[in-house]
Amino acid sequence: MIYRRNIVYILIISSLLGGLIVGRSFFYQIAYVLGLVLIIALVVAWSSVNWLQIRRWTYVRRLQVGDEFDESFVVRNKSLLPKLWLEIHDHSTLPHHSTSQVVPTLWWHKSYEWRIKTPCTRRGQYKLGPMTIKSGDPFGFYQFSRRIDATSSVLVFPPMVPLYDFAVSVGKLSGGQAVRQRTFETTPNAYGVREYAPGDSLNRIHWKTSARRGKLMVKEFELDPLGDVWVFLDLSKESLVSQVGASWTQDYILHPRLRVPPSTEEYGVVISASITRYFLEQGRSVGFLSYTPYRDYVAPDRGNRQLNDVLEILAFASSQTEHTLREMLVFEGHHLPRGTTLVLVTATTQTDWLAEAYAQVQRGVHVIAVMINPVSFGRTIVDFELLRQQVESAGIMVYVVNRDDPLTEVLSYQPHPVRSWHPR
């Protein structure tokens, strides 16, 4: 491009020199024409990236791995001059999202539209935009670019697998649905209303009843006949194992069946999301806790909103924390009441957490360990079978997950714990 302009500059200078030497106006006319061509080319190239409107429509901003991200774009010429050609480069960070486009000639008030569908293969939050527009003149003398800094984001949740019979019998308090014990704590089971008393929290006020009766009324709650389910996901650096030399390391493969990237982090995320959905579909109240690397805590609750809260955390989760599974149990375990179901998802090779887990079993907490086998990911300096036997001997129900295992089959059966190990 600069080379072409230099040739024209040389021709103009040569024509002017020829006119001075020969004295004929023909050479001056050639110089004037070439100069006019450069000026016209400059105006056309500059106007090509101005008086232009670009719109993008993002239909859904929250998706799941396996969904298609759908976007539409429209470019409209708002000037009297035609846009001979346009290159639009999108700097979005969503993997495999190729929205860059070469737009053909746009006449006055004409528009060009295209649509892009991108399969979501990685979890996380990704930026959409900014965009860069490039154009030039028909002779290739000049090229201008314009940057559009408008950005937005899209959140991709991790995938989940269906579970059919995961630890189905645990976590039920004695009495079942017949339990009718009042509690001052807020639970998913509202019993009725009563008159406001000093000290009652404002978030317990039932405003419709208060307006109808003309005085403040608060909601009363009763104990949940089914114990809460807590999912603890261990994302410590110590437990992270990624297979070395794998040909693919980040993308989920969805066909013909789900294949999780060869990392204990990704397996833990998928397993935690699947277990959370399973218990929520069973009508249970589920809580979630992990260090991702910051402490992410979701109080027990029911419904789709609870699942979305957990999936949003898991979309960002990464194994960057120094807190081990033992520290998680020490810091958080004393909050768990009797009858709670505690699901531990971990790939740790340490045994120091067993004493804390056994203490939870002694307190009446149903502990389930989903152990991701690090040996199947390439870690060899560990006797995983001995570790599994020690966990089972502590009265903990164990599920073992190896790399490339069909997660639905592995997690949809009922193992039987053995109670014989007693830590000192």
Backbone phi and psi for residue 156, each to the nearest 5 degrees, phi listed first: -110, 115
In which band, very low, low, confident or very high, does the pLDDT at 366 lie, cut at 50, 70 and 90? Answer: very high
Average model confidence (pLDDT) across the chain: 86
Predicted local confidence at residue 223, as pLDDT: 53
Instruction: Pick the range with the lowest mean pLDDT from 311-320, 321-330, 376-385.
Output: 376-385
> Exposed/middle/buried for 92, CB within 10 Å: 0-12, 13-18, 19+?
buried
Query: Quick one: pLDDT at residue 276?
Result: 97
- Given this model, what pLDDT does residue 148 score? 92
Torsion of CA 354, 356, 360, 366, to 10 degrees: -30
Confidence of residue 167 (pLDDT cuts 50, 70, 90): confident
Q: E strands of 281-339, at which residues?
A: 286-291, 295-301
Q: What is the mean pLDDT of residues 82-91?
A: 92
Is the confidence at residue 270, as pLDDT, over 80?
A: yes
Contact 56, 19 (CB under 8 A): no
Report the SS3 class of residue 372: strand
CB neighbour list of residue 19: distance below 8 Å, 6 or more residues apart: 25, 26, 27, 28, 31
Q: What is the pTM of this model?
A: 0.81
Predicted pLDDT of residue 23:
79
Radius of gyration of the chain (CA): 33
Quote the percentage of the chain above a pLDDT of 90.
Answer: 56
Q: Is 342 exposed, middle or buried (0-12, 13-18, 19+ CB in 10 A)?
A: buried
Confidence of residue 115 (pLDDT cuts 50, 70, 90): very high
pLDDT attached to residue 243 = 66
Residue 250 has pLDDT above 80, yes or no: no
Q: Is the pLDDT of residue 249 over 80?
A: no
Q: Which of 303-317, 325-339, 369-383 is modeled with the greatest confidence?
A: 303-317
DSSP secondary structure letter of residue 364: T
- pLDDT (mean) for 200-209: 83
Confidence band for 122, pLDDT divided at 50, 70 and 90: very high
Do 170 and 341 meet the contact criterion of CB atoms below 8 Å apart?
A: yes
Q: What pLDDT sits at residue 233?
A: 97
Q: Cβ neighbours of residue 415 under 8 Å, at least 6 residues apart?
A: 397, 398, 399
User: Averaging pLDDT over each range in 139-143, 164-168, 224-228, which range is the top one?
Assistant: 139-143
Report whether pLDDT(305) > 50: yes
Residue whose tokens read 């957490």: 353
Average pLDDT over residues 234-261: 79
Question: Phi first, then psi: what are they for 101, rounded to 5°?
Answer: -150, 145
